Chain A
Amino acid sequence: MIEAFATRYSYVLFAALLVLGLYMVVTSSNLVKKVVGLNLFQTGIFLFFVTTAFVDGGRSPVVPAEAGPGEVFASPLGQVIVLTAIVVGVALTAVALALIVRIYDEYGTLDEETLREVRTDE
Chain B
Amino acid sequence: MSSLVETGLALLVVVPMVGATLPLALSLVRDQVGWATATVVLAVEAALAARVAYALVLEGGRVVHVLGGETFGRTNREVGGESTEGFAVGIELVGDALSGLVVALVAGVALGVLAFARRGGPRTNAFYSGYLLLTGGLMGVALTGDLFNLFVFLEISGLATYALVASGRSPTSAVAALKYLVLGTTGASMYLVGVGYLFLRTGALNMVDVSRTLAGSVDLPGLEGALYGDPLVVAAFGFVAVGLATKAALFPLHTWQPDAYAEAPDTVTVYISALASTAAAYALARVTWFVFTPAFFDFGPANRRVLEFLLALATVSVLVGSALAAMQPRIKRMLAYSSVAQFGLIVIGIGVAVHPAAGEQATRFAVYGVGIHLVGHAVIKSGLFATAAALAADTGARRVQEYAGLARRRPFLAGGMATLAFGLVGVPPTVGFLGKWYIALAAVEARHWPLVAVVFLSTVLSLLYVARVLERLYFSGSPETATESSGEIAGSPGETGDAVAADGGDGTDGVVATGGASTGMVALALTAAVLTVGLGFTGAELSTALDPVVEAVTDAAPSTEVSR
Task: Please report A residues at the B interface, Cβ cutoff 8 Å.
Answer: 18, 22, 25, 31, 34-35, 38, 41-42, 45, 48-49, 52, 63, 65, 67-69, 71, 75, 77-78, 81, 84-85, 88, 91-92, 95-96, 99-100, 102-103, 106-107, 115, 119
Q: A107 and B177 in contact (CB under 8 A), knowing A34-B182, A41-B186, A92-B155?
A: no
Check B80 against A91 for contact (C-beta < 8 Å).
no
Q: Which residues of B have CB within 8 Å of A42?
A: 185, 189
Q: Which residues of B have CB within 8 Å of A67?
A: 79-80
Check B185 against A38 for contact (C-beta < 8 Å).
yes
Residues of B in contact with A, size category: 20 to 34
Q: Which of B40-48, B199-207, B434-442, B505-513 contacts A (4 or more CB under 8 A)?
A: B199-207
Closest to B183 in A: A25
Closest to B165 in A: A99
Closest to B160 in A: A95
Check A38 against B199 for contact (C-beta < 8 Å).
no
CA distance A48 to B181 in the complex (A): 23
Q: B319 in the interface, Cβ–Cβ < 8 Å?
A: no
Closest to A75 in B: B203
Check A99 against B166 for contact (C-beta < 8 Å).
yes
CA distance A75 to B185 in the complex (A): 27
Q: How far is the CB of A33 from chain B (nearest CB, A)?
A: 11
Q: Which residues of B have CB within 8 Å of A119?
A: 172, 175
Check A31 against B186 for contact (C-beta < 8 Å).
no
CA distance A121 to B390 in the complex (A): 29
Q: B152 in the interface, Cβ–Cβ < 8 Å?
A: yes
Q: A99 and B171 in contact (CB under 8 A), knowing A45-B192, A84-B152?
A: no
Check A103 against B178 for contact (C-beta < 8 Å).
yes
**Extra pairs beyond A41-B189, A65-B79, A96-B182 (10, CB < 8 Å):** A38-B185, A41-B186, A45-B189, A68-B81, A69-B82, A81-B148, A92-B159, A96-B181, A99-B174, A119-B172
CA distance A41 to B186 in the complex (A): 8
CA distance A95 to B205 in the complex (A): 28
Among A68, A69, A77, A81, the one with the most B-chain Cβ atoms within 10 Å of its Cβ is A81
Q: B251 in the interface, Cβ–Cβ < 8 Å?
A: no
Q: 29 A-B Cβ contacts within 8 A? A: A18-B193, A34-B182, A41-B189, A42-B185, A45-B192, A45-B196, A48-B196, A52-B196, A65-B79, A67-B79, A67-B80, A68-B81, A71-B80, A77-B199, A85-B151, A91-B159, A92-B155, A92-B181, A95-B181, A96-B181, A99-B166, A99-B177, A100-B178, A102-B171, A102-B174, A103-B174, A103-B175, A107-B171, A119-B172
Check B193 against A69 for contact (C-beta < 8 Å).
no
CA distance A84 to B154 in the complex (A): 13
Q: Which residues of B have CB within 8 Å of A77?
A: 199, 205
Closest to A42 in B: B189
Q: B163 in the interface, Cβ–Cβ < 8 Å?
A: yes
Q: Which residues of A have CB within 8 Å of B177?
A: 99
Check A92 against B185 for contact (C-beta < 8 Å).
yes
CA distance A103 to B263 in the complex (A): 14
Q: How far is the CB of B76 from chain A (nearest CB, A)?
A: 14
Q: B296 in the interface, Cβ–Cβ < 8 Å?
A: no
Q: Which residues of B have CB within 8 Å of A68?
A: 80-81
Task: Please report B residues at the A interface, Cβ cutoff 8 Å.
Answer: 79-82, 148, 151-152, 155, 159, 162-163, 166, 171-172, 174-175, 177-178, 181-182, 185-186, 189, 192-193, 196, 199-200, 203, 205
Q: How far is the CB of A82 from chain B (nearest CB, A)?
A: 10
Check B171 against A106 for contact (C-beta < 8 Å).
yes
Q: Which residues of A have CB within 8 Å of B166?
A: 99, 102
Q: Which residues of B have CB within 8 Å of A96?
A: 178, 181-182
Check A106 against B181 for contact (C-beta < 8 Å).
no
Closest to B77 in A: A65
Q: Which residues of A have CB within 8 Å of B159?
A: 91-92, 95
CA distance A85 to B199 in the complex (A): 15
Closest to A116 in B: B175
Check B186 against A25 for contact (C-beta < 8 Å).
yes
Q: How far is the CB of A121 from chain B (nearest CB, A)?
A: 13
CA distance A113 to B192 in the complex (A): 31
Check B171 against A103 for contact (C-beta < 8 Å).
yes
Check A85 against B175 for contact (C-beta < 8 Å).
no
Check B186 against A22 for contact (C-beta < 8 Å).
yes
Check B193 against A115 for contact (C-beta < 8 Å).
no
Check B196 against A88 for contact (C-beta < 8 Å).
no
Q: How far is the CB of B414 from chain A (nearest CB, A)?
A: 31
Q: How far is the CB of B144 from chain A (nearest CB, A)?
A: 13
Q: Which residues of B have CB within 8 Å of A25?
A: 182, 186
CA distance A22 to B200 in the complex (A): 23
Q: Which residues of A have CB within 8 Å of B192?
A: 45, 85
CA distance A92 to B157 in the complex (A): 12
CA distance A67 to B78 in the complex (A): 10
Check B148 against A69 for contact (C-beta < 8 Å).
no
